[in-house]
């Protein structure tokens, strides 16, 4: 029974978005509390546990999902068992209840998706009410479509493909009807809420800890989702012969609107991954603080990359101890405050420009290629800056905890 309990804890944490190091720490702590030396080794699709040095049968487990509520509840149960507040016999039933806990309700999922996408529109300079309404409608409908497909297919790539396809169709219709809206934001903002940030972060942390196969698999999975988003969006646009309209830098947004919209985006992203209501205000405040720093640096003349790095560095410094104390998965908890900094506009414009190379004549190909490379490079450098800003504080703080002999690195 002890081995089954430890194995079930490892599985629940792994498949719901907890970092690899935290899974290993929880397995070790729980094993020590139950009188057995337990270790865990992870790879994509399988967990292998050893008890007192003897390997047990592998567990099929794919880390496809992110559910902060389940992770927090499982970690809290591990703490309770280790502190002798819950007997092991009762823990198994509680784990079954945690595993059966439903995802966030459809109404909350759709409303927060609409609000989050519209908030991103405000951050990127959308001013017309009709633009924001179309963004919200597209994102909300996409959320309903994703939830419906979740019950019909277990393929994790179908949902982002379909939602992005719907966003492309909505954008195409807006262009055909010649609506007075910012067509670029109508197309892009509903797709930005689909970006799998937690998987990128968890994969990068694994790579930084030299867990190459698992880290590479996580990054590959997240990249596949992004490719599905881009493919669906371009397919939707192609139905009407449209492309993502090119645009320059986003217009400056007043600080108050920018910070408030960032808070709404954080709340939306936290809701997607079932963050408990009692915890949600914390990342909202952190995200608003980080976005205020980002806004201030841009106004002072700093580059977009530098501003993103500083904002993410602030988030990493604050969120690392918070996530540990609240028993939250770091990837989702840290990504929520910075979701509005993702360079989705540059990513999607680069993909659209590359697709346009196929039909461009020779005289125009050089200009189109230059535009694609510029947008793609900008997106890559911003993502790199964000990643370093988020994982460097975590790695440094955890290293300091290990040096001090903390039981919960």
Alpha carbons 330 and 19: distance in angstroms, whole number: 7
Residues 6+ apart with CB under 8 A from 245: 183, 184, 187
Task: Output the CA angle 36-401-329, nearest 5 degrees.
Answer: 75
Alpha carbons 213 and 23: distance in angstroms, whole number: 17
DSSP for residue 341: G
H runs (alpha helix) in 83-128: 88-99, 106-123
Alpha carbons 177 and 188: distance in angstroms, whole number: 18
- Averaged over successive runs of 10 residues, the pLDDT of the chain (409 residues) comes to 88 93 92 91 92 86 91 93 90 91 91 95 90 96 94 91 95 90 90 91 91 94 94 88 65 87 93 88 94 93 92 94 88 88 83 74 72 86 91 87 59
Per-residue confidence (pLDDT) for residue 331, from 0 to 100: 85
Alpha carbons 50 and 307: distance in angstroms, whole number: 45
Phi, psi angle pair for 271, to nearest 5°: -70, -35
Residues in the chain: 409
Q: Is 114 exposed, middle or buried (0-12, 13-18, 19+ CB in 10 A)?
A: buried
Neighbouring C-alpha atoms within 13 Å toward the C-beta of 126: 27
Per-residue confidence (pLDDT) for residue 409, from 0 to 100: 42
Evaluate whether 346 touches 246 at the Cβ level (below 8 Å).
no
Per-residue confidence (pLDDT) for residue 321, from 0 to 100: 92
Evaluate whether 328 touches 72 at the Cβ level (below 8 Å).
yes
Alpha carbons 24 and 32: distance in angstroms, whole number: 12
CA 347 to chain centre: 16
Alpha carbons 409 and 91: distance in angstroms, whole number: 24
The reported pTM is 0.88
| Bridge partners (DSSP) listed for residue 45 | 61
Per-residue confidence (pLDDT) for residue 372, from 0 to 100: 82
Per-residue confidence (pLDDT) for residue 42, from 0 to 100: 92
Domain boundaries, the chain: 2-99, 106-404
Map residue 104 onto helix, strand or coil: coil
């Amino acid at each position: 029974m002890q081995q089954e309990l430890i194995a079930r804890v490892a599985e629940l944490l792994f498949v719901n978005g907890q970092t690899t190091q935290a899974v290993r720490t929880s397995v070790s702590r729980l094993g020590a509390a139950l009188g057995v030396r337990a270790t865990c080794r992870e790879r994509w699709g399988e967990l292998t546990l050893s008890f007192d040095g003897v390997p047990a049968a592998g567990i099929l487990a794919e880390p496809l999902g992110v559910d902060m509520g389940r992770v927090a509840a499982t970690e809290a149960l591990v703490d309770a068992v280790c502190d002798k507040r819950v007997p092991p016999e009762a823990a198994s039933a509680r784990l079954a209840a945690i595993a059966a806990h439903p995802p966030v309700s459809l109404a909350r999922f759709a409303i927060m998706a609409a609000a989050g996408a519209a908030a991103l529109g405000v951050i990127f300079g959308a001013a017309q009410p009709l633009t924001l309404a179309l963004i919200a409608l597209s994102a909300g409908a996409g959320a309903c479509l994703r939830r419906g497909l979740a019950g019909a297919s277990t393929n994790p790539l179908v949902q982002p493909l379909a939602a992005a396809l719907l966003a492309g169709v909505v954008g195409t219709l807006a262009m055909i009807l010649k609506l007075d809206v910012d067509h670029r934001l109508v197309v892009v903002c509903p797709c930005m809420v689909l970006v799998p940030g937690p998987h990128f972060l968890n994969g990068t942390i694994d790579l930084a800890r030299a867990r190459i196969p698992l880290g590479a698999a996580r990054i590959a999975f997240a990249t596949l989702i992004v490719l599905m988003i881009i493919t669906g969006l371009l397919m939707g646009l192609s139905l009407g012969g449209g492309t993502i309209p090119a645009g320059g830098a986003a217009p400056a947004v007043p600080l108050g609107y920018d910070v408030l919209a960032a808070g709404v985006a954080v709340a939306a992203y936290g809701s997607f991954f079932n963050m408990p209501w009692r915890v949600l205000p914390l990342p909202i405040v952190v995200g608003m603080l980080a976005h205020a720093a980002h806004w201030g640096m841009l106004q002072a003349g700093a580059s977009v990359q530098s501003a993103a790095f500083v904002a993410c560095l602030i988030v990493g410094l604050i969120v690392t101890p918070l996530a540990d104390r609240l028993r939250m998965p770091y990837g989702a908890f840290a990504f929520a405050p910075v979701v509005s900094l993702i360079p989705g506009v540059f990513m999607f414009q680069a993909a659209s420009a590359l697709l346009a190379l196929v039909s461009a004549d020779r005289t125009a190909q050089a200009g189109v290629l230059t535009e694609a490379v510029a947008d793609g490079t900008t997106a890559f450098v911003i993502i790199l800056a964000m990643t370093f800003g988020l994982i460097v504080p975590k790695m440094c703080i955890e290293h300091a905890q290990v040096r001090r002999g903390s039981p919960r690195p």
